Amino acid sequence: MKNKKVAIIGGGVTGLVAARNLAQEGFKVVIFEKNEAIGGLASSVSIEGEPIEAAYHHFFKTDQDLLSLINELGLSKKLEWFESSVSIFVQGKFWPFMSPRDLLNFSPCGFVDRIRTGLTALHLKKTKSWEQYRSLSALEWMTRKCGQSSADSIWGPLLKGKFGKDFSHISMAWLWARLHVRVNSRENQSAELLGYLNGGTRCFLEALSADLIKKGVVFRLGAKVEPFRQEGEQWGIATQDSVEERFDAVLVAAPDSVYHYLSQDCDQGSLASQKTKYLNAVCLLFSSEQELGEYYWNNINEANAPFLVFIKHTEMVPKERYGGKQVYYIGAYCDDRDVNWSETDELIKERWYHYLKHLFPDFDRSIISEEKLTRFSKAQHVVDASYHDSIPLHHPSDDGRFLYHFSQIYPEDRGVNYAVREGGKASNEISEYLK
């Protein structure tokens, strides 16, 4: 086992956790990451001198795999829990959306449909199995159970903001899983509690990478891997700037399209017919002395809104960490042809800030202190009602190549907790193969 080498393509959380476990078992592990920094969707930037996620992150009470790893890395004292607050912006107003009373007061939805929506939420909370929902359209099911006005003001806009033109085809199993995570993050039926590390995900990634280096894991950052070459029972891997190295197993901890590219000279087995559809993500992070709104998480449910969500980060995390400034996120999902992806950063910011003034008439762009716009390609897979039957395989062919990526997580949505879980599963499967 000491001479067995494993290559991991992708330095996101799944790849890092798999590397940690494999190195702990005695395998020699090399991580190839195309960017100059690790972390993937959990990577961080700085604002007002403080590390913060490039794309908004928080943790749930149900994130047991992640919480266990945080404890193992000695970061438990940095983990803090805050009460969440949620609103929906529709009909020109922010409506609080955290309790049964809030739902009863949500007049954009007809009164009878508010009652139906509450009863449906209770039903879904008590339903422990998702299998019955996997082939059903979430929008059609929720419309039938909650009523048309509920679908028009709540579920339709949420699904459309997340999945764009595919919104009407999204599986009810996906929505069931999202609702269960939120409900189970409440303590004794009180307010939802969300977790955040003092120091952001950067302290988590730094502690994890330090542990990997201690265990002998080698990092190759800024490394764009060339297509694999099979050498007997081993795999030859080279980057544009390095000589070829040979490995006994390869884990692609990246989208299945990356696996396709790297395996183009090899037999791809049953993976060849599987093509996952993805959406990109764009996030605008900014700080200001100006206070905008009173809720942490604000779903923007107006038709034709240019973004999905407005997040007041410092409604949850104390603003004192950011020099007394308020910190905000704006986020959107989009395909390659959407203006939110194709336009320049400045045009996107100009359009989003213009709409933000519609949400908050007193908003003043001129007093923004710092701003950073980040883009993430293939950040969200489209989970339609047939997705269960086309999930990419973890081990497409019995030759030492493995694929573990958030697109295989089902019915749950991708997140750091599931990335940790998948990294553990990947390392177990690779270890068994090499033994």
What is the three-class DSSP state of 51? strand
* Rounded distance between C-alpha atoms, residue 73 and residue 302, angstroms: 43
What is the three-class DSSP state of 133? helix
- Bridge partners of 45? 52
pLDDT of residue 334: 97
**Do residues 153 and 90 make contact, with C-beta atoms less than 8 angstroms apart?**
yes
pLDDT tens column, 288-334: 999 999 999 999 999 999 999 999 999 999 999 999 999 999 999 99
Among the listed residues 336, 403, 339, 420, the one whose alpha carbon sits nearest the alpha carbon of residue 376 = 336
Q: 357-366 burial by CB neighbour count: b if 16+ within 10 A, else e?
A: eebeeebeee
Residue 189 pLDDT class (50, 70, 90 cuts): low
Backbone angles phi and psi of 215, in degrees to 5: -85, 0
pLDDT of residue 270: 42
> The tokens 């410092």 sit on which residue?
314
Strand pairing class (5-9; 249-252):
parallel
Tokens representing residue 281 in the block: 């993500």
pLDDT of residue 2: 63
% of the chain surpassing 90 pLDDT: 85
* Rounded distance between C-alpha atoms, residue 151 and residue 136, angstroms: 15
Q: Give the predicted TM-score (pTM) of the model.
A: 0.94
pLDDT of residue 267: 56
Which of 153-157, 257-261, 388-392 has maximum average pLDDT? 153-157
pLDDT tens column, 350-373: 999 999 999 999 999 999 999 999
pLDDT of residue 272: 45
Tokens representing residue 322 in the block: 């950011």
* Rounded distance between C-alpha atoms, residue 32 and residue 67, angstroms: 26
Tokens representing residue 147 in the block: 């009523």
pLDDT of residue 153: 98
Q: What is the DSSP string of 178-229?
A: HHHHHHHTBSTTSSBEEEEETTHHHHHHHHHHHHHHHTT-EEEET--BPPPE
What does the radius of gyration of the chain's CA atoms come to, in whole angstroms? 22
pLDDT of residue 433: 94
Q: Is the pLDDT of residue 55 over 90?
A: yes
